[in-house]
Chain A
């Protein structure tokens, strides 16, 4: 793209600075030997050391990973099936289904958190890891099915017929045709779901129970009575993981270059 008058270029740069400058400062501060990070007082890895030796952090990180991975896997399965149903059947129910799945992307987190909490209380489900897991699955499904649906819309179903014609049964078709062509979409959706799950705060805050804090919840409590420097280090690690996953999922979603 060519910028004719530089204006859009400056705006773009300004926006990027606005987005990423705080993160850069945070990253620098995570190596700063000053506890409150007001001024540079030397390079240190102390905060990182403190981070990986804090049992509470490791415990909540474990919780986050358990929930993130299980919510990712579950939503990959359900979201893929949902995408297939929406793509394959053009009935009115499926149009409604699609609308429901996509509006969920726009529902405010606070509303979802509240409604899920009320729901869990109504069915007498004890708040804990299980309720967080269910809550995360509900919003992850939408993202997975959205990504997989995009993949399906570019899928030429004629090749399924061609495979059948060449002697393939359903097992071979699934393993050698469907999965290789659709799995990038499923994996990308899953990675997206994982990143969303691992740093969700609002919904988790509502449905979490005693002893089942996830990492974002713990970070929030550290904000109030912890060391901000350790927090910086933690956030940097978080950033690295999130960026990697988003990058991978983008690579998978992007259409293959042809010719």
Chain B
């Protein structure tokens, strides 16, 4: 029973090729019942294709798709207990809100009374009772979005697929809709498969995230796992910003902490959870907000803290935080400082200041793989 819950929807060795372009490459993963699962990646990574395969709008070249223990790979879209919220809503322009929402139930030949009461329930849920007789062209973007969600959810799908559902909305509305989506999920409890290229959306709504790149899944995990412990440089750079270091293990200080030698940078300590031996080449990611920046030599709370001297090369003040770019030897490090004090009373760190930066060994994370091109994903200006 437990197994069934964990493997509610299983993608098994799914591949898809368009011409000579391998869009999805032998992908396998599973989604648990009731969770919000996000597929995230840059455009062209294959996430939308996976979603369309799940909806039945695209047929995989290889592999199987198992929903609730049943192989649905060969089922046409109109026979799957799966519904989709399309990117640009795809509402029927010649039907009113009510008719749009009742479209699925009418085809399924529900009892008339049941249709009326269910449509009513969903109109309440999406708060569009007063607009129920309007046509899609008379609604705002956010309202259309909500109709699209209700139209899909009323069929009580086992899985609700959301294809970049917020991409067409402006920023403020997007955040509101995100909260609303979350509320709807809490009320209905349907499993959500959410496709987006926006890491912020995925992080805030998901129970689990799969990061995709070039038709492969690079990592699956909770938002915190993905952010704090990225397996690859792609994941580290795509989800948030980071600093990459390339070096070799030169000394195992104790069971947990090793010293690393770098070219063009002082030696640093790192939490070696992968028990790498001396001489192993390593790639390290340190998130900008994990690094402290101070004018005075920092108080050392742990014996092996990395403390380095640097010079401020760029400053961007953003109100709640400031982004610094600090020159240390051959490296240019990005640092985010969150402001918790009243800055007017202080002497803030300025351009060209000499500063001390510090971070604890466990604040860096050792990557499994590294590709230099992934640095292009960072929002920081490079050298």
Contacts and interface: CB of A to CB of B under 8 A. Distances in A.
B104 A166 contact: yes
Interface string A132-167: 000000000000000000000000101101111111
Given A166-B83, A258-B137, A259-B138, A159 B91 contact: yes
Contacts of B92: 159, 162-163, 177
B77 A180 contact: no
A167 B86 contact: no
B86 A161 contact: yes
Secondary structure call for the B interface? mixed
Given A165-B84, A259-B138, A156 B90 contact: yes
A121 interface: no
Interface residues of B, number: 26
Interface in A162-180: 162-169, 172, 176-177, 180
Given A164-B77, A166-B107, A172-B107, A158 B90 contact: yes
A159 B57 contact: no
A167 B55 CA distance: 11
B78 interface: yes
Interface string B85-121: 0101011111000000001100110000000000000
Interface in A24-54: none
B160 to A, nearest CB: 11
A166 B137 contact: no
B103 A163 contact: yes
Contact of B83 (A165, A169, A172, A258): A165
Nearest to A158: B90
A161 B84 CA distance: 9
A110 interface: no
A172 B152 CA distance: 17
Contacts of B84: 161-162, 165
Given A166-B155, A177-B92, A158 B77 contact: no
A181 interface: yes
Contacts of B94: 180-181
Interface in A211-259: 256, 258-259
Nearest 8 CB-CB pairs, A to B? A162-B90, A258-B137, A158-B90, A166-B104, A164-B77, A167-B107, A167-B78, A165-B84
Interface of A: 156, 158-159, 161-169, 172, 176-177, 180-181, 256, 258-259
Given A165-B83, A181-B94, 19 more contacts: A158-B90, A161-B57, A161-B77, A161-B90, A162-B84, A163-B92, A163-B103, A164-B56, A164-B57, A165-B55, A165-B152, A166-B104, A166-B151, A167-B108, A168-B78, A168-B103, A169-B78, A180-B94, A258-B137
Interface of B: 55-57, 76-79, 82-84, 86, 88, 90-94, 103-104, 107-108, 137-138, 151-152, 155
